[in-house]
Structure 1
Amino acid sequence: MKPQMRNLNLFLFLLLSLHFISVLSWKREEFRNCNQTPFCKRARARKPGSCSLLARHVIISDGDVTAKLLPKNHETSEDHHEINPLLLTLSLYQDGVLRLKIDEDPSLGPPKKRFEVPDVIVPEFSNNKLWLQRISTETIDGDTGPSSIVHLADGYEAVLRHDPFEVYVREKGSGNRVISLNSHGLFDFEPLTAKGEGEEWEESFRENTDTRPYGPQSISFDVSFYAADFVYGIPEHATSLALKPTRGPGVEYSEPYRLFNLDVFEYIHDSPFGIYGSIPFMISHGKSRGTSGFFWLNAAEMQIDVMGAGWDADSGISLPSEKTRIDTFWMSEAGIVDAFFFVGPGPKDVVRQYMSVTGMPAMPQLFATAYHQCRWNYRDEEDVEDVDSKFDEHNIPYDVLWLDIEHTDGKRYFTWDRMLFPHPEEMQRKLAAKGRHMVTIVDPHIKRDDSYNVHKEATKKGYYVKDASGNDFDGWCWSGSSSYPDMLNPEIRSWWADRFSFEHYVGSTPSLYIWNDMNEPSVFNGPELTMPRDALHYGDVEHRELHNAYGYYFHMATANGLVKRGEGKDRPFVLSRALFAGSQRHGAVWTGDNSAEWDHLRVSVPMVLTLGLTGLPFSGADVGGFFGNPEPELLVRWYQLGAYYPFFRAHAHHDTKRREPWLFGERNTELIRDAIHVRYTLIPYFYTLFREANTSGVPVVRPLWMEFPSEEATFSNDEAFMVGNSILVQGIYTERAKVASVYLPGRQSWYDLRTGTSYRGGMTHKLTVSEDTIPAFQRAGTIIPRKDRFRRSSTQMVNDPFTLVIALNSSQAAEGELYVDDGKSFEFEHGAYIHRRFVLSDGKLTSVNLAPASSGKSRFSSETVIERIILLGHTHSPKSALIEVTNQKVDIGLGPLWLQWGRGSAVVTVRKPGIRIADDWTIKFL
């Protein structure tokens, strides 16, 4: 290498290193606040009642209600060209979903078409459309003219109020409102404009300037939730589950909740600041009515205020009297109004309604639901082999070993550093022989190196995002000077998917899966560490219009690549840091670069719960914290909690001390091993819950109020959570805790998972805390499937027998489910699975088939049996049991057995009944 080139490379490396150090931790000045964001500042300055629009020319067109929104003082004419009216469309769908679209009239010559986010709404949603035949009219109290009313669903109507313009859903009969838009008259829509001579539209923040070629184009409006005690949702923020007011007298936050995907190192907890993902979906819940939801399909930067009580005291706006109402204010830099109202009325109804729009979550492979071991970085093949063997030596199961960016050849993705990883295929095969898998990282920044085939081909084909001048965008990230594939373009997504073939990704094998990081996208020298807003994408779309969805398209293309690689046979596993509505269809997400602090352990729970509520059930937080060195107690508590995250992965920064589970002394190794064993024991239950999420959208881990929607004590509780409907987990979030307060909802009892000890529901219990475990309970009336034999990995447990743990309620009844398939392929979509419901009632335990009759095209069978049935809460211990299988009766003896996870109360146990999970059978307790 020439000396001049060597010196230049050294200079660039030092420059990148210094910049990295400067952004390594949270620096508020790196990021804009609302006052530094012109569209947010303008919108917040608007006063209630300032919207002067009226709904006119209301008709039915193509099965929808359509109207024009015109200023109140405008004299209508034949063309309206001089005022460019907005076009409004109301569409109704099955199951209580109302869609509202508002856009400029393209026939009236705006400079370009405003961006509508593609590929988020699933194609089958259009099949749910209700084709309207007529509109009813009604004069709302105090109005000078009629409003339009349409039937939405059983018990609900949608109302388009003409003057003043407003859209809301109400209950039939009572007329009580559920959710409304523009009730406070804050709606504003800035039209695209051709730049006039002398106009200054540029915006600057720090050293970056945004050219804004189409001028201000923001949209804002108020949304009100009625009969609501709290609102939730709009991830991703490191704050409480119940969203706090951001505006109004005496509020804690002065900034709105920001939705703008950003690479935020060491994000702070308890803040409305946006981090890696954005889902503009909010859920309200209240005791008197239930749940409703609102989703705005818009990928531009968004700011959302939750209004505190009394915020509108001086507005003069008069709204119908309601017991409770929560007002919110939504602001976006660009896009259109494409909003969805969900009427509920239950929490699971709202989630299902939202999923009908954005799609059901993907069904993961079985191995992905187990424990993952990650670090930035495992150094070489010897390090990988050593870590792998140490797990076996210490009898700790794991399923996936991860490699971060240092495994590549100079941060060129799809490559290997052949000095450190000379035999990647053999390395993967050794792991696969134990039923284990590997994950490697693939980020969107492509090193600008003419000898790098990915860059060479992307440049030749013109596949990169362009800068405002039309050249390939050049930004800095881990690989230095980098460009970014334009994932909005379907052709480029297809090309990217092909990069994962065994031909192109040399050294990969079928047991290798993928991690997408830095896909917000992260640009170290960009404004707010991301891509400039005036960068250009496919179809002349500005980056400002799709920013929050860039990582979503990258995630989508990567997942499709793994499906292509396997010729459509196997399910992909792809973890993504950036997220958007619809990400659930493509894989898992995590909460990003957290810290080894008790507060970050604490905030991980509401973050994961919020992701689940908004459609992403497969999520988790880095166990132990990414930054910093956790004390052993914190690390152990994090493992004990993380064992119940849907996505269970330990991860750490390369500057931290090594923290594999065996490095903290024998006792801590034992505690971490026990926590990981809990997860492996419960994998059948978790896998069944993932199937429930796949078919209904209901999250794997849930807020307490999702299962107990009328109990006010659960509404703001985000220190505890439900795993499915059967297990309640309470984290320990302080050092040297001796006592924990645990609220157990409902009227039935709860049973300690380890000891079987019974506790009353509907009250708070002060419990002594030990280092052995965190409080976790099984709900009376449920049945949980387990596997109690410990193997090296979940793959090696496939044929192991099951244990059923039955927690009886006061009626001596219980029920639960078990879902089993081949754990990897798409054959389950064709009926190749076992799905059983277990029901214990009147002294009989019955296994009922929930799977549809097989079409013969695809079958799944299993010889796996149930080896143990454990009864908790039996009021009179049975002496024997009769098992009926194909008309044969067998006597089974009963006796006490300690629960497998620890010593505690004796329980009634049926040993070795020998019944297959695939069969119908009945056990009668005598």
Structure 2
Amino acid sequence: MRRFVVESESGAGVIVRNDDCTLALEMPRADILRVRILCHDETPVPSWVIVESAQAAQAAPRISQSDDVVTCATDCLIAELALATGALSVRDINGHPILLDADDAPFHERGAGFTIRKHLTPELAIFGLGDKPGRLNRRGRSFVNWNTDSYAFQEGQDPLYKDIPFFIGHESGRSFGVFLDNTWRTRFDFGSAEEDVLEFGATGGPIDYYVMAGPTAADVLQAYAFLTGTPPLPPKWALGYQQSRYSYKTADEAIGIARRLREERIPADVMWFDLHLLDQNRSFTVDTKAFPDFPTLVQDLHGLGFAAVVITDFQIAQVEEGYAPYRGGYEQDAFVRRQDGSVYVAQSWGGPSVFPDFSHEPSRLFWGGLYSGLVEIGVNGFWNDMNEPALFSDGGTFAKDVVHRIDTFGGIRQGTHAEMHNVYGMLNGRATYGGLRRLRPESRPFVMMRATYAGGHRYAITWTGDNLSTWNHLRLSTPMLLSLGLGGFSFAAVNLGGFVGTPSPELLTRWLQVGAFNPIAINHSDLMTPMQEPWVHGEPHLTRRRAAIEARYRLMPYLYTLAEETSRTGLPMMRPLFVEFPQAASGYPLDLEAGSQFMLGRALLIAPEPFGEMPENYTVILPPGTWYDYWTGIRLDETVPAKLTGNSGTSTTLGADDAHAPRAVTVSPDPDVIAVFARGGTIVPHHDTIQHTGERPQGPLRLDIYAAAECIGTLYDDDGMSIEPAAMLRLHVRANFADGHFRIVIAPREGSFAPWWTEIAITIHGLSTFGGLDDGGNADFDTGRRRLSLIVADRAEETVIEGMGNL
């Protein structure tokens, strides 16, 4: 690589160049470095994912230069570029290495593509890249991003449906992030080919990547959200239990399922309609023989408290007569073409089909307008499936000679499908979301899509695709959802019970019990498999499954509060342990020892057995702090030091520092519930069981305080449907316990949204003694369970409760 010279400096950063390329070091924020390299007179291309505010942001880094190095620095990171070679080093403000080039070059050309090589330290763990089916830590493996229909995928299969080229490195309690903004086929090698080298690159397209300095994973996730945006808050009903199948084939069958859910007192909010709703599998149609009055069916579902979600695959059947989507799209030139100018036709569900050119704004507008009829009859949400894009001809996806019109700076350019393949599904979701925003401007859209790219979380929720009804796929569901959350897709689901195959009664029960604590809970099964609704298999499974779903609904105030937090901060609802406990065990990521465990927000630790097909005692890793059994409220006092499992089953104690040392507890699997633990120092809001989120809860707001020296909790609520609610409610609660005295403060309510409760029921878990309330009020103390219960009237202003009691 020839020597670089400084070409210019600005508030964004510095640009250097040599005879081969131009390299820009830019800092949109003090903790984010953008590295952009243009070679051979390349023209910059707009990003599909970086939000406008981040594109315009400038951190005004301090720039300095010596004979050998040019430096960009902020109060968070220092980037140094060697002028002789272009090699880049990124360090934190204390000089600790974040990311260092492995060679004396900023990149290597690979045909029309490139490779970036970075030094990989021995203990660095790698997390991210979306829902790759395997263990959470990506270290020691290589991956490809090329969106691919993956029916009945297996553990380790790669690639799958999504391209999320973002990962987090974590070592000794410190984290950093890397996002490669490139829509071409990309690859990542995390020490597989060379154990001390991290490689990433693409077969074409721009060299454009971002480094996020951390230092914690939460900092990295919020920096990534600054770049790619946060997911919008979905309608509240989306957090309820959702029932689906490929397919409910008639109106009578669909309404019968909904009515039985109500008769069985199984809380539920959504009914899904797959391909059998459609006339000859054509999107935006209804088979009027099987569904003779679909508008009335939708209204009947609404009357039962259900939302209706309808599949709308991206394919438009090539039908000249009687099918308005094809005729309208043809007249508006909305479809992709081949290089010879002909409209591209391929086989799909509806037979010979054509496909919208979603990279072109007029085509997106055309697509969004197709939803008007379904919106008018009250359909609540929509499902964009098969959008990898997946076909039944041409090798399973678009032919190589398909071209796309790409909106760019002030005009339109033509791009190959190699460039647009990975972003096509995300743009399908964007077109759907945009159409719904225009058709129902006051209401939150609900869009589900299977294939996507980074940033697609701004338009749709997603799920992990066509999984199997096996215990192994139940195990895989946790790391897959956690990885999606790290990539911005907090609102994600798996097909509970598995899609392909037949779950045993025990597997379906356990999956519904675990899924009750997933961000989105959808039970979906394949054509020609046995029915998979909660009542199949009879008792005792029906009672266990109902109880799991009821537990989810009682927790709805907490879930909705987490969802709103995600929409503001980008922090996922479902979190790996290293995100919440970065300093535990001297910074060792506890997830490496606890593959089946996850945090739901900061308060709840979900810990099902790792091998449900072998129901035997197992060890739960408890991060530092006090923990309570969520189901009984009893504090866990009988714990042991947590162990790190090594070669040949050897073990060593995790963490030497008592303040950060995790503990462990042995759990016996219980067929009635999975193991769930509440974190000391948290306050979790609940309400009594409801049948759907549109039902007004009866009884008080319930606040469970899991006692520690200091406790905090928050509740958020609004109308559950408006894009910009006219009113909202936010409630902050804190509690302190010291010197035999406790004080609970319910802060004045924020916002004008009217609460559904008139009383607040407070339960303090972990109180060993109780000497009365300072005001002499009534309270019930259970000595055996160390539980204090009391009720106070709801007030808009501050409420303070004080009393005598020891932890």
**The structure with more radius of gyration:** 1
Q: Name the aligned partner's letter for residue 669 of structure 1.
A: L
Contact 1:299/1:547 (8 A) holds in 2: yes
Q: 1:894 aligns with which of 775, 780, 805?
A: 780
Q: 2:794 aligns with which of 906, 911, 915?
A: 915
Rounded to whole Å, the distance in 1 between the matches of 2:368 and 2:774 is 56
Q: 2:137 aligns with which of 215, 219, 242?
A: 242
Q: 1:304 aligns with which of 188, 198, 212?
A: 188
Could you tell me which residue of structure 2 aligns to residue 188 of structure 1?
108
Matches of residues 757-836 of structure 1 in structure 2 within 5 Å? 757-760=634-637, 762-788=662-688, 790-797=689-696, 801-809=700-708, 811=709, 813-828=710-725, 832-836=727-731
Rounded to whole Å, the distance in 2 between the matches of 1:176 and 1:880 is 52
Could you tell me which residue of structure 1 aligns to residue 409 of structure 2?
none
Q: 1:560 aligned to 2:495?
A: no
Change over 3 Å in CA distance of 1:450–1:330 after alignment to 2: same
Rounded to whole Å, the distance in 2 between the matches of 1:178 and 1:298 is 22
Matches of residues 171-250 of structure 1 in structure 2 within 5 Å? 171-172=92-93, 174-181=94-101, 183=103, 185=105, 187-189=107-109, 216-224=111-119, 229-246=124-141
Matches of residues 549-588 of structure 1 in structure 2 within 5 Å? 549-566=423-440, 568-588=441-461
Rounded to whole Å, the distance in 2 between the matches of 1:533 and 1:61 is 41
Q: 1:257 aligns with which of 143, 147, 151?
A: 143
Q: Which deviations, in whole Å up to 9, do the C-alpha atoms of 1:605-651 show, x marking residues without a partner?
A: 00000011111100121100000000000101100111111011000
Q: Indicate the SS of the match to 1:148.
A: strand
Change over 3 Å in CA distance of 1:556–1:919 after alignment to 2: farther
Q: 1:294 aligned to 2:223?
A: no
Q: 1:420 aligned to 2:290?
A: yes
Could you tell me which residue of structure 2 aligns to residue 211 of structure 1?
none
Rounded to whole Å, the distance in 2 between the matches of 1:227 and 1:175 is 19
Could you tell me which residue of structure 1 aligns to residue 352 of structure 2?
481
Contact 2:770/2:781 (8 A) holds in 1: no
Q: Indicate the SS of the match to 1:795.
A: coil
Q: 2:745 aligns with which of 846, 856, 872?
A: 846
Could you tell me which residue of structure 2 aligns to residue 869 of structure 1?
762
Matches of residues 659-698 of structure 1 in structure 2 within 5 Å? 659-698=532-571
Q: Indicate the SS of the match to 2:613.
A: coil
Contact 1:729/1:776 (8 A) holds in 2: yes
Q: 1:518 aligned to 2:363?
A: no
- CA shift at 1:867, angstroms? 3.9
Q: Name the aligned partner's letter for residue 178 of structure 1.
A: I
Question: What are the ranges of 5 or more consecutive residues in structure 1 without an aligned counterpart?
Answer: 1-51, 71-84, 139-144, 191-215, 247-255, 313-325, 883-889, 898-904
Contact 1:236/1:259 (8 A) holds in 2: no
Relative to the length of structure 2, the TM-score reads: 0.91
- CA shift at 1:667, angstroms? 0.6
- Percent identity between matched residues is 28
Rounded to whole Å, the distance in 2 between the matches of 1:259 and 1:881 is 62
Rounded to whole Å, the distance in 2 between the matches of 1:228 and 1:68 is 35
Matches of residues 706-745 of structure 1 in structure 2 within 5 Å? 706-711=579-584, 712=588, 714-716=590-592, 717-732=594-609, 733-745=611-623
Q: Indicate the SS of the match to 2:436.
A: helix
Rounded to whole Å, the distance in 2 between the matches of 1:728 and 1:764 is 13
Rounded to whole Å, the distance in 1 between the matches of 2:798 and 2:121 is 47
Q: 1:275 aligns with which of 160, 167, 179?
A: 160
Q: Which deviations, in whole Å up to 9, do the C-alpha atoms of 1:3-44 show, x marking residues without a partner?
A: xxxxxxxxxxxxxxxxxxxxxxxxxxxxxxxxxxxxxxxxxx
Change over 3 Å in CA distance of 1:915–1:909 after alignment to 2: farther
Q: 1:150 aligned to 2:51?
A: no
Could you tell me which residue of structure 2 aligns to residue 137 of structure 1?
65
Rounded to whole Å, the distance in 1 between the matches of 2:372 and 2:54 is 32
Relative to the length of structure 1, the TM-score reads: 0.79
Change over 3 Å in CA distance of 1:298–1:911 after alignment to 2: same
Rounded to whole Å, the distance in 1 between the matches of 2:756 and 2:119 is 54
Contact 1:818/1:836 (8 A) holds in 2: yes
Q: Name the aligned partner's letter for residue 847 of structure 1.
A: I
Q: Name the aligned partner's letter for residue 624 of structure 1.
A: G
- CA shift at 1:233, angstroms? 0.6
Q: 1:462 aligns with which of 319, 323, 333?
A: 333
Contact 2:86/2:106 (8 A) holds in 1: no
- CA shift at 1:491, angstroms? 1.4
Q: Name the aligned partner's letter for residue 250 of structure 2.
A: D
Q: Which deviations, in whole Å up to 9, do the C-alpha atoms of 1:704-757 show, x marking residues without a partner?
A: 1111112226041331000001100112332250312111110x2211111123
Rounded to whole Å, the distance in 2 between the matches of 1:245 and 1:53 is 33
Could you tell me which residue of structure 1 aligns to residue 372 of structure 2?
501
- CA shift at 1:517, angstroms? 0.6
Rounded to whole Å, the distance in 1 between the matches of 2:277 and 2:219 is 45
Q: Which deviations, in whole Å up to 9, do the C-alpha atoms of 1:764-820 show, x marking residues without a partner?
A: 2111111011110001111000112x22211103576321111002x2x31111011
Rounded to whole Å, the distance in 2 between the matches of 1:691 and 1:631 is 36
Matches of residues 57-68 of structure 1 in structure 2 within 5 Å? 57-60=6-9, 63-68=12-17
Contact 1:219/1:334 (8 A) holds in 2: yes
- CA shift at 1:668, angstroms? 0.5
- CA shift at 1:237, angstroms? 1.1
Q: CA RMSD, aligned part only?
A: 2.2
Contact 1:230/1:715 (8 A) holds in 2: no
- CA shift at 1:225, angstroms? 5.4
Contact 1:432/1:511 (8 A) holds in 2: no
Q: Which moved more, 1:671-680 or 1:118-127?
A: 118-127
Rounded to whole Å, the distance in 1 between the matches of 2:10 and 2:282 is 53
Rounded to whole Å, the distance in 1 between the matches of 2:326 and 2:699 is 47
Change over 3 Å in CA distance of 1:485–1:800 after alignment to 2: farther
Q: Name the aligned partner's letter for residue 413 of structure 1.
A: S
Could you tell me which residue of structure 2 aligns to residue 99 of structure 1?
34
Q: Name the aligned partner's letter for residue 666 of structure 2.
A: K
Rounded to whole Å, the distance in 1 between the matches of 2:580 and 2:389 is 37
Rounded to whole Å, the distance in 2 between the matches of 1:234 and 1:183 is 24
- CA shift at 1:682, angstroms? 0.9
| Alignment size in residue pairs | 764
Contact 1:881/1:893 (8 A) holds in 2: no
Q: Name the aligned partner's letter for residue 149 of structure 2.
A: D
Q: Name the aligned partner's letter for residue 537 of structure 2.
A: F
Contact 1:102/1:336 (8 A) holds in 2: yes
- CA shift at 1:222, angstroms? 1.1
Q: Indicate the SS of the match to 1:103.
A: strand
- CA shift at 1:430, angstroms? 1.3
Contact 1:892/1:913 (8 A) holds in 2: no
- CA shift at 1:333, angstroms? 1.3
Contact 1:818/1:835 (8 A) holds in 2: yes
Could you tell me which residue of structure 2 aligns to residue 76 of structure 1?
none
Change over 3 Å in CA distance of 1:730–1:63 after alignment to 2: closer
Q: 1:126 aligns with which of 26, 51, 55?
A: 55
Displacement over 6 Å in runs of 4+: none
- CA shift at 1:183, angstroms? 3.7
Question: What are the ranges of 5 or more consecutive residues in structure 2 without an aligned counterpart?
Answer: 406-412, 640-661
Could you tell me which residue of structure 1 aligns to residue 647 of structure 2?
none
Q: Which deviations, in whole Å up to 9, do the C-alpha atoms of 1:640-677 show, x marking residues without a partner?
A: 11111101100000110012111111210001101111
Q: Name the aligned partner's letter for residue 535 of structure 1.
A: V
Q: 1:166 aligned to 2:166?
A: no
Q: Indicate the SS of the match to 1:794.
A: coil
Q: Indicate the SS of the match to 1:924.
A: strand
Contact 1:434/1:796 (8 A) holds in 2: no
Q: Which deviations, in whole Å up to 9, do the C-alpha atoms of 1:831-860 show, x marking residues without a partner?
A: x31111110014111122584xx6xxxx53
Q: Indicate the SS of the match to 2:451.
A: coil
